[in-house]
Amino acid sequence: MLRGFHTVASGMYAQQRRQETLANNITNAQTPGYKADDAALRAFPEMLTYHMGSQTLPTTRQFKLPIQQPIGSFNTGVYVQETIPNHQQGDIRETNLSTDLALVNGTLLDETGSLFFTVQNEAGDVRYTRNGNFTVDQAGFLTTSEGYYVLDNNGNSIQTGGMDFSVSENGVLEANGIAAQLGVAYAANVNELVKEGNDLFQGDAGEVPAGTTFSIQQGALERSNVDSLQMMTEMMESYRLFETNQRVLKAYDESMGKAVSDIGRIG
């Protein structure tokens, strides 16, 4: 019965973690470039059970031979192993703001690959994002809404001198007669990237390989790929599973109470 307590409790905790992931997705449903997280549920290692018995041999001493008959396997619980971002591209929405840039995937070499803007975080490290909701700071540099510098293909910050600049489809930014190529990085396996918050990813990404195509759309943003209706449906499903485990836990608790009080008093 104690094993049953552990199994039910692990199920409740897993659904709680799943609820938190779904709630975070819904919260970011309007965040440009946000990638929805999927909670990957895994079972604890399987255990193979046997029925222990014996068989009497037809001898004068009626010798008993121990036997084991396999019953089957079972798991002792479930847990959220990891949250995996869904890197499917979101819809493109026009904003008509010159600082808004949408990175549109074209031909990719691998289904697990994707393209990202390169930015510099507060520690000076290169990070990657799909959120093109940029702005221009007081010094005239192109930055993210959190103040991180947007980088060019040489890893340098981009000076625009103001809001009046243009960006071509191939990512060339022109301002005050100066041209800079926006830094676009390619990650061959997006599942190896790690979310850092503020729509940033950390991981292994490099130059765009030959055969990979993309375009930059100025005055537009990539929307979040969160399906709010699907998230609400999954939240209701997760809540019902949590309630089911809660009822089972209550039944275990009542049975344990009887074992302690009633059976103990009879003895």
Answer whether 188's CB lies under 8 Å from 169's CB.
no
How far is the C-alpha of 221 from the C-alpha of 148, rounded, in Å? 18
pTM (two decimals): 0.79
pLDDT tens-digit readout, 119-137? 999 999 999 999 999 999 9
**Spatial distance between the Cα atoms of 186 and 125, rounded to a whole number of angstroms:** 17
Q: What is the pLDDT of residue 48?
A: 67
Element (H, E) at 194: strand 194-197
Query: Is residue 11 very low, low, confident or very high in pLDDT (cuts 50, 70, 90)?
Result: confident
Question: Over the stretch 18-77, which tens digit does the pLDDT of each residue have?
Answer: 999 999 999 999 999 999 999 988 777 666 677 777 777 777 777 777 777 777 766 677
Tell me the per-residue pLDDT of 159-201, one tens digit each, with 9 for 90 and over. 998 888 999 999 999 998 889 999 999 999 998 999 988 899 9
How many Cα atoms sit within 13 Å of 72 on the Cβ side? 2
One-letter identity of residue 136: V
Burial of 70 (0-12, 13-18, 19+ CB in 10 A): exposed
Domain positions in the chain: 2-83+227-266, 92-222
